[in-house]
Amino acid sequence: MKKSLMLVMALILTFTLAACGQANKTNTSAGNDAGANSSANGEKEKTTELSGSILAVGSSALQPLVDQASKSFMDKNPKVSIQVQGGGSGTGLTQVSGGQADIGNSDVFAEEKLEAGPAGELVDHQVAVVAMAAVVNPDVNIDNLTKDQLVQIFTGKITNWKDAGGPDQVIQIVNRPSSSGTRATFEKYALGTKTDDLAGAIQEDSSGNVKKLVKETPGAIGYLALSYLDDSVTTLKYEGVEATEENVANGTYPVWAYEHMYTKGEPNGLVKAFLDYMVSEEVQNGDVVELGYIPASKMQVKRDVDGNITK
């Protein structure tokens, strides 16, 4: 009887311990699942809930792209504020170097505007390629200029359109200030030389104002990024070559530059997220093409800081 009783008690104890173990296992699993879900939700919030502000300053040639992309980015991230200002590439590079701006937009490499020390602190983010072309008032009635003709016009040696195949009309130059990356690009790749500010020439900080003045001023000539071109001005061929995406991409048309968004040091947080968005397929295949820029991925040639082109 004692043996039977002891056997029964042992069996009861075994079943009790097994049941407790199973209960503990179930509670632990539930706790792990809850923790995993909490972690997943936390990670989701961490990666999608962006907030804060960004100030991007500089190139007016790049401004339309950054402005449009920033609006889309803010739509996706309602707690983010992005302010985009022009002022020229030199201004953008100086301000990002000095810490007044988060991003410096530029048509030129930083080394072309800043001393080696400050330039070396900046990190280059190339977001597109921009081509530039000379433009004239429609009444000038020409559609092509050679490099030599452009040099003579912008150095004051040709002052009347009749000496460049146009009507008997005084030439009015609409130029950009020396801080402008658009001017630096045009001088470097279209003229092959820097120019002085001529007496009587008009200077404008904004590409939009340049277009307006060329449109409204008799005999006017200026230069604009392709993103600003429309039928209100006449776009000139360069040495007989049109400023088209195909001609830029294959290296036939030489007046182009990378569009840079510089940061002081490697970006992180919100600034990095915005720069990643700028090179995303959504922006590269959308805003970049729509606004007249060229995705860097379509270029068949490359250009270094010295202007050398390689395949």
SS (H, E, C) 153-186: HHCCCCCEHHHHCCCCCECEEEECCCCCHHHHHH
Residue at which a domain ends, from 219, 249, 279: 249
| 117 in the same domain as 262 | yes
Cβ proximity of 243 and 226 under 8 Å:
yes
Quote the number of domains for the chain.
2
Question: Which residues partner with 303 through β-bridges?
Answer: 309
Whether residue 104 lies inside any domain: the answer is yes
Question: Which residues partner with 57 through β-bridges?
Answer: 85, 104
| 124 in the same domain as 185 | no
| 99 in the same domain as 241 | no
| 58 in the same domain as 158 | no
Which domain range does residue 75 map to? 53-129+258-310
List the CATH number of the domain containing 306: 3.40.190.10
Whether residue 21 lies inside any domain: the answer is no
The dihedral through the CA atoms of 213, 216, 218, 224 has a sign that is: positive
| 193 in the same domain as 116 | no
Q: Is the pTM here over 0.95, yes or no?
A: no
Whether residue 283 lies inside any domain: the answer is yes
Residue at which a domain ends, from 232, 249, 266: 249
Whether residue 157 lies inside any domain: the answer is yes
Whether residue 35 lies inside any domain: the answer is no
Alpha carbons within 13 angstroms on the beta-carbon side of residue 267 total: 20
Distance CA 96, CA 278 (A): 18
Whether residue 295 lies inside any domain: the answer is yes
Q: CA dihedral in degrees (58, 256, 250, 285; nearest 10)?
A: 30
Residue at which a domain ends, from 249, 276, 299: 249
pLDDT in tens, the chain (311 residues): 444 444 445 444 444 444 444 444 333 333 344 344 444 444 444 456 899 999 999 998 899 999 999 999 999 999 999 999 999 999 999 999 999 999 999 999 999 999 999 999 999 999 999 999 999 999 999 999 999 999 999 999 999 999 999 999 999 999 999 888 889 999 999 999 999 999 999 999 888 999 999 999 999 999 998 888 999 999 999 999 999 999 999 999 999 999 999 999 999 999 999 999 999 999 999 999 999 899 988 999 999 988 888 88
